[in-house]
Amino acid sequence: MPEGKRRARSYNPKLAGMTLHLHRPLRRLPSRGRLHAAIVVSLAATLAIALFWQPLARSSADDTADNAGLPVLALAEGLSYAVRAHAEAVAGALAEAGLDSGPEGLVLRDGQEMGPHSAYILKPLYAAAGRVAALGAFSSGDMPIVLRLERAVPVTVQEEGLAIPLYSSQKTVGEALAAHGIRVRSYDRVYPPPDTPLSAGLQILVRHARAVELTVGGQTSTTYTQAHTVGELLAERGIEMGPRDELGPPAATAIEDGLSVNLVLVRVRREVEEEWIARSTIYQDDPNLQSGTSYVLDWGSDGLLRREYHVLYRNDRPLSWTLIAETYQAPQDQIVVRATYVPVNTTTVADCGSFSYTSSLTVYATWYDPASAGGYITATGIPVDYGVVAVDPSVIPLGTRMCIPGYGIGVAADTGGAIVGSIIDLGYPDGVIPAWTTRYVQIYILD
């Protein structure tokens, strides 16, 4: 700017050392800036300088009032414009540099775009690079403000029913949305796709997925959907409703963010219950069969009670059982044939005479009388007398008739605590001296 047009004003320390990028279609006013070739060359080294230079702090001498304005370096379309500006907004500073951002101008602050009427606040590293680049342009050596103008294109974003006009210098749809703070998640839909090159007048549709709490069969999960209704949501997830299923809210309900959908699965299943009934065993006697032998005439079979139910389940929990069929198969008895023939032997014993017997047994025989027994009445209720024999019923059943050589005929009619196993005790009446001596003897079972 010509020196005659400079206006004295207080120096604003907020604005020093700040770098700001402006993106817009350029309309250049008549050039009034000072062109310095050294500035253009030095800009190529800005990134390298920024990696090694620490942010420069203003000295106490720089904090004094600078009535000549703030140093501004504007870069546009490959050209550089250096000027001392008095404006605080982006558009005013550009105008003093001889440039017009136009109404569509965008400002990039720390990677974020702003409007042309925003106050510019510069990053220290860019300010440091600007100082190096502009030392030859400003005699005072003040740290300049570097503004970069780039071409932007107008686009329209349709989001949640709203049309948002934007200007962006980004290369793709996805980059433009990100630069304007429009977050697109993997389950959101963007048309045209995010990798589509950005062009003027492009219409961009952004449809954000809704978060829905979906419960199916008692299992709950959070799902993100593009569906418009609950019915579309189920179809989107491949869930088919059964005729008895319970859905809440109804299928026609519009999807809203945070909606809870509960699908109760109601199923009717056919189930069978079987109960086996054990067969019985019956015996048939065969008098012609040798004693101690037997055989199975008919194995028979177990019975079966079979019931069929319709069981109603709600989310895999049984609620009711309905009997639809019942069949009964009766068990068939098992038939076993056993022998009843008992061979009969004949012998003669002096004390018993001639007799027939079924078996013989060697036992240890003692004697007793009412006095030694402690009473007159036996276990079967008859008096102790000659012919009464005390036995172990598990060896010789009570009531069995037998021949005891040296004693005679006896009947198993009494028991005793010491009479265990193959031991018998021969009864005598009171006052009779026994002629028996305790010994082993072979006895004969008569029946």
Q: Which residues contact 112 (CB under 8 A, 6 or more apart)?
A: 179, 181
pLDDT of 122 reads 43
CATH of 269-339, one of 1.10.10.60, 2.20.230.10, 2.40.30.10, 3.40.50.920: 2.20.230.10
Q: Tell me if residue 50 falls in helix, strand or coil.
A: helix
CATH number listed for the domain at residues 153-207: 3.10.20.90
The torsion defined by the Cα of 353, 359, 363 and 367, in degrees rounded to 10, comes to: -40
* Digit-coded pLDDT (tens) for 304-337: 999 999 999 999 999 999 999 999 999 999 999 9
pLDDT band at 347 (very low <50, low <70, confident <90, very high): confident
The two domains 210-264 and 269-339 share their CATH topology (first three levels equal): no
Q: What is the per-residue burial (b if ≥16 Cβ within 10 Å, else e) of 223-254?
A: bebebeebbbbbeeeeeeeeeebebeeeeeee
Question: What's the mean pLDDT in 118-142?
Answer: 48
pLDDT of 33 above 50: no
pLDDT of 17 reads 36
User: To the nearest whole percent, how much of the chain has pLDDT over 90?
Assistant: 51
CATH topology of domain 345-445: Barwin-like endoglucanases (2.40.40)
- Average pLDDT score, the chain: 78
Domains in the chain: boundaries: 3-150, 153-207, 210-264, 269-339, 345-445
- In the chain, the amino acid numbered 156 is T
pLDDT of 32 above 70: no
Copy the structure tokens of residue 186.
């993997």
CATH topology of domain 210-264: Ubiquitin-like (UB roll) (3.10.20)
pLDDT of 114 reads 55
Helices (H), ranges, 115-195 = 124-134, 173-179
pLDDT of 57 above 80: no
Decide: residue 376, CB within 10 A, 0-12 exposed, 13-18 middle, 19+ buried. Answer: middle
Strands (E), 315-429: 317-329, 334-339, 345-349, 353-357, 359-368, 388-390, 401-404, 408-414, 423-427
* Digit-coded pLDDT (tens) for 192-238: 999 999 999 999 999 999 999 999 999 999 999 999 999 999 999 99
